[in-house]
Amino acid sequence: MSIIDTLPDASTLDRDKLYAKYKSKIIENSDLDRTLVSFQANRKLPFYSWFKYKEGFSAELVNYVIENLTTSKGVILDPFAGLGTALFAARRLGWDTIGIELLPVGFFAMEARLAGESIKPHTFKKELDKIEKVDWSDFFDPSFAFKHISITEGAFLEKTERNLAEYRAYIHQNINNPNVKKLFHLAGLAVLESISFTRKDGQYLRWDHRARKSRSKTQFDKGKIAEFSPTIKQKLWEIYKDLSGNRNLDQNLFDSQDKKNKSGFVDLRRDSCLEVLPTISDHSIDLVITSPPYCNRYDYTRSYALELAYLGIGSEEIKSLRQSMLSCTVENKTKESILKRFYKSRKQEKVFDLVQRVFTTQKAFHEALDFLDELGSLGKLNNSNIPKMVRNYFFEMAFVIYELTRILKPDGFIVMVNDNVRYAGQEIPVDLILSDFARKFGLKIKHIWTLSRGKGNSSQQMGMHGRSELRKCVYVWQKP
Q: What is the mean pLDDT of residues 115-120?
A: 92
Give the contacts of 59 (CB within 8 A, at least 6 positions apart). 41, 42, 45, 48, 85, 88, 89
What local confidence, expressed as pLDDT, does residue 426 receive? 87
Give kind and range of the element (H or E) at residue 80.
Answer: none
Residue 52: how many other CB atoms lie within 10 Å: 16
Q: In this structure, what CATH number is given to the domain that contains residue 63?
A: 3.40.50.150
What is the pLDDT averaged over residues 127-154?
A: 93
Same domain, 272 and 403: yes
* Arithmetic mean of pLDDT, 195-220: 82
Is 307 a domain residue? no
Inside any domain, residue 266: yes
220/364 same-domain check: no
Q: What pLDDT score was predicted for residue 55?
A: 84
Whether residue 40 is found in the same domain as residue 78: yes
- Over residues 204-223, mean pLDDT: 81
For residue 36, being part of any structural domain is answered with: yes
Mean of per-residue pLDDT scores for the chain: 90
For the segment 368-411, what is each residue's pLDDT rounded down to a tens digit?
A: 999 999 999 999 998 999 999 999 999 999 999 999 999 999 99
In a domain, 124, yes or no: yes
Task: Look at residues 60, 57, 62, 48 and name the one whose alpha carbon lies nearest to residue 113.
Answer: 48
On whether both 289 and 239 belong to a single domain, the answer is no
Tell me: the pLDDT tens digits for 66-103?
999 999 999 999 999 999 999 999 999 999 999 999 99
Task: Read off the pLDDT of each residue in 178-201 and give the average, rounded to a whole number.
Answer: 96
In a domain, 111, yes or no: no
Residues 78 and 133 in one domain: no
User: Contact 200/51 with Cβ under 8 angstroms?
Assistant: no
pLDDT at 460: 47
pLDDT of residue 247: 56
The CA distance from 103 to 65, in Å, is: 25
Average pLDDT (110-121) is 94
Task: Check whether residue 128 and residue 61 sit in a common domain.
Answer: no
pLDDT of residue 5: 47
Name the more confident of 262 and 419: 419
408 and 446 belong to one structural domain: yes
Segment 31-60 mean pLDDT: 87
Residue 216 has a pLDDT of 58
Q: Which residues span the domain enclosing 386?
A: 3-103+257-301+314-478
Residue 34 above 60 pLDDT?
A: yes
Q: How many structural domains are present in the chain?
A: 2
Same domain for 323 and 347: yes
